[in-house]
């Protein structure tokens, strides 16, 4: 019975994430039909002017509601400890600059593992499997192959490929 509220919370989070993605897709469709009108689409917004896209972080990039992928700077993903499933908002400024903001973090858990490298990529062996980590995280935390590191993974995503480095121990 104590499992029921936890399942309900996870389901609610999933529904909210889906609703946010659908809302972003609806905004994009509206823009494509009526054109970019910041006053009509983003009324009462105090944000940077430009095109706004919401999407899901996959460990390296943001996938938009239109199926397009958007590059997320590795240093931002590393320092913000972004993990698979986090919802991001991308504002493409009028001057072409990309401004990311994490708006929907997924539930997280931390585990400890060992940093390894193969095929030119870094991984952390933890909990009986390997999680890929960004090179920016490895260098930011000055971790070395064989070091114990604390990583952050999605709490309920058993299929996660990527993890964020929390600290080098």
| 59: nearest Cα among 79, 76, 82 | 82
Fold of domain 108-168: OB fold (Dihydrolipoamide Acetyltransferase, E2P) (2.40.50)
pLDDT for res 8: 75
pLDDT over 90, % of the chain: 57
Give me the residue label for tokens 């905004």: 27
Residue 87's φ and ψ, nearest 5 degrees, are -95, 130
In this predicted structure, the answer to whether residue 158 has a pLDDT above a threshold of 70 is yes
- 28 band by pLDDT with thresholds 50, 70 and 90: low
Q: Tell me the per-residue pLDDT of 118-153, one tens digit each, with 9 for 90 and over.
A: 999 999 999 899 999 999 999 999 999 999 999 999
Q: Is the pLDDT of residue 43 over 90?
A: no
Strands (E), 19-128: 50-57, 61-63, 69-71, 87-93, 98-104, 108-118, 121-126
Strand order through the sheet with 164-168? 129-133, 121-126, 108-118, 148-154, 164-168
Output the average pLDDT for the chain: 83
Query: What is the per-residue pLDDT across 48-82, written as a single tens digit (0 to 9) for each?
Result: 567 899 999 999 999 999 889 999 999 999 999 99
Whether the CB-CB separation of 17 and 23 falls below 8 Å is answered with no
d(CA 99, CA 60): 16
Confidence of residue 108 (pLDDT cuts 50, 70, 90): very high
d(CA 69, CA 49): 21
Domain boundaries, the chain: 3-104, 108-168
């Amino acid at each position: 019975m104590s499992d029921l509220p936890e399942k309900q919370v996870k389901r609610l989070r999933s529904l909210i994430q889906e609703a946010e993605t659908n809302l972003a897709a609806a905004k994009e469709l509206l823009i494509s039909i009526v054109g970019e009108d910041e006053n009509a689409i983003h009324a009462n917004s105090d944000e940077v002017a430009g095109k706004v896209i919401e999407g899901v972080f996959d460990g390296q990039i943001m996938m938009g509601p239109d199926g397009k992928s958007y590059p997320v700077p590795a240093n931002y993903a590393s320092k913000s400890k972004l993990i698979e499933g986090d919802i991001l908002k991308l504002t493409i400024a009028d001057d072409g600059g990309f401004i990311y903001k994490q708006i929907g973090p997924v539930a997280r858990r931390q585990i400890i593992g060992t940093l390894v490298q193969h095929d030119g990529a870094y991984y952390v062996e933890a909990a009986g499997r390997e999680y890929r980590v960004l090179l920016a995280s490895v260098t930011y935390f000055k971790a070395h192959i064989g070091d114990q590191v604390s990583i952050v993974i999605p709490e309920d995503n058993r299929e996660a490929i990527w993890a964020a480095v929390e600290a080098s121990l």
